[in-house]
Amino acid sequence: IADEAFIRRLPKAELHLHLEGSLEPELMFKLAERNNIELPYASVEEIRAAYDFTNLQSFLDIYYQCADVLRTEQDFYDLTWAYLLRCKEDGVVHTEPFFDPQTHTDRGIPFEVALNGIDRALCDGEEQLNITSGLIMCFLRHLSEEAAFATLEMAKPHLDKIIGVGLDSSEVGHPPEKFANVFAAAAELDLFLVAHAGEEGPSTYIETALDILDVDRIDHGVRCTDDPVLVDSLAENRVPLTVCPLSNTRLKVYDNMNQHPILKLLEQGVCVTVNSDDPAFFGGYLVDNYMALVEGLAMTRAEAVALAANSLEASFIDDELYEEWL
């Protein structure tokens, strides 16, 4: 059985982390005060008590509301920097975080305010913490493909600060193929491609994300277990899945961690990785997610090493860079 000190020391990449989802209640209060915003909660305890989710949408409603405290470039810097300090504690040597530009541009915050604050913190993280990174911007799938195109247009002057595009928000009813044209346009710009698929949505969304969007990785993807032929094909092609154990139990994809399929998928040869998704809302950062697998599934040291190695294999950094960590 693996233990916390062992897991903390393993060099790991984090490949599925929403920066807006790393906003801790303490920082939320600080930013609300700084920006003269009245929060609908009286205390940090009251905020944490509101994080009692029944499904993905019940979480997203609160998550978008909380993001409203992020107003200035410094706010986005502080958010990102706080996350990077947690990476350092957790032995994360490389991270490819997501941000949701439309969550900010739709309430009047310029694209550059969010991007520049995040980018400046990521640059400082490379210099001061020795954590490499690559930023991924996600399109909100409950909005139109036209709106996604407008967001891609805003990113065009800043392609030196963005390595890829993703697809997140409410999954069911918004299949990957809705975004076929904008993903093709992003591929033309040499951006990496990822998409949330098979979290609450069916395994067919995993297939269309791969076949129609041509993504490099699948975010979540756990519902592939409904289709054994798909599982074989994911294993055969080493398609990475960025799995988020605490997210899946907090959003009731599984009632209990002992039902989580990640270690079974690992054994079947699928390139599964461990990630924290929205750690401020789901009760834990990367090491906490590994420890949840120790507690729920009696994960061994060998399994933890394999999951950490998968995260480096599945990252978009040069293979030579990660070999020094393996």
For residue 263, give every residue at least 6 positions away whose Cβ sits within 8 Å of its Cβ, in sequence order, or none.
293, 297, 299, 303
Q: Is 217 in the site for ligand ES4 (CB under 6 A)?
A: no
Among residues 2, 12, 21, 191, which is the contact residue for ligand ES4, using CB under 6 A? 21
Residue with tokens 């750690």: 279
Query: Is 278 known to sit in a ligand binding site?
Result: yes
Q: Is 171 in the site for Zn ion (CB under 5 A)?
A: no
Catalytic: 199? yes
Residues between 102 and 161 with contacts to ligand ES4, criterion CB under 6 A: none
At position 216, the amino acid (one-letter code) is: D
Q: Is 168 in the site for ligand ES4 (CB under 6 A)?
A: yes
Which does residue 199 touch among ligand ES4, Zn ion, none (CB within 5 to 8 A, set by kind)? ligand ES4
Q: Least distance (Å) from ligand ES4 to the CB of residue 171? A: 6
Q: If we measure between CA atoms, which residue out of 304, 219, 323 comes closest to residue 266?
A: 304
Query: Is 18 known to sit in a ligand binding site?
Result: yes
Choice among 199, 200, 207, 303 that is catalytic: 199
Q: Which residues pair with 17 in a beta bridge?
A: 277
Q: Categorise residue 109: left if φ over 0, alpha if ψ from -120 to 50, beta otherwise.
A: beta
Q: Is 90 in the site for Zn ion (CB under 5 A)?
A: no
Helix (H) or strand (E) segment spanning residue 272: strand 272-274
Count of residues that bind Zn ion according to CB under 5 A = 1
Query: Is 277 known to sit in a ligand binding site?
Result: yes
Which does residue 169 touch among ligand ES4, Zn ion, none (CB within 5 to 8 A, set by kind)? ligand ES4
Q: Is 242 in the site for ligand ES4 (CB under 6 A)?
A: no
Residues between 261 and 290 with contacts to ligand ES4, criterion CB under 6 A: 277-278
Tell me if residue 94 falls in helix, strand or coil.
strand
Token reading at 267:
């054994």
Count of residues that bind ligand ES4 according to CB under 6 A = 11
Residue nearest to ligand ES4 (CB): 168
What would the x/- binding string for Zn ion be over residues 264 to 283, using CB under 5 A? -------------x------
CB 144 within 8 A of CB 167: no
Which does residue 178 touch among ligand ES4, Zn ion, none (CB within 5 to 8 A, set by kind)? none
Torsion angle, alpha carbons of 206, 292, 282, 127, to 10: -90
Q: Least distance (Å) from ligand ES4 to the CB of residue 56? A: 6
Q: Least distance (Å) from Zn ion to the CB of residue 21? A: 7
The 10 Å Cβ neighbour count of residue 150 is 16
Token reading at 66:
């909380």
CB 166 within 8 A of CB 139: yes
Helix (H) or strand (E) segment spanning residue 12: strand 12-14
Among residues 23, 56, 209, 287, which is the contact residue for ligand ES4, using CB under 6 A? 56
Q: If we measure between CA atoms, which residue out of 144, 118, 155 comes closest to residue 133?
A: 118
Q: Is 199 in the site for ligand ES4 (CB under 6 A)?
A: yes
Token reading at 40:
């609908």
CB 129 within 8 A of CB 84: yes
Which does residue 24 touch among Zn ion, ligand ES4, none (CB within 5 to 8 A, set by kind)? none
Dist. CA 173–CA 193, nearest whole Å: 21
Give the nearer residue to Zn ion in terms of CB position, either 124 or 288.
Answer: 288
Give the nearer residue to ligand ES4 in terms of CB position, either 22 or 133.
Answer: 22
Residue list for the binding site: 16, 18, 196, 277-278
Residue list for the binding site for substrate: 278
Interface residues with ligand ES4 (CB under 6 A) are 18, 21, 56, 63, 168-169, 196, 199, 247, 277-278
Active-site residue set:
199
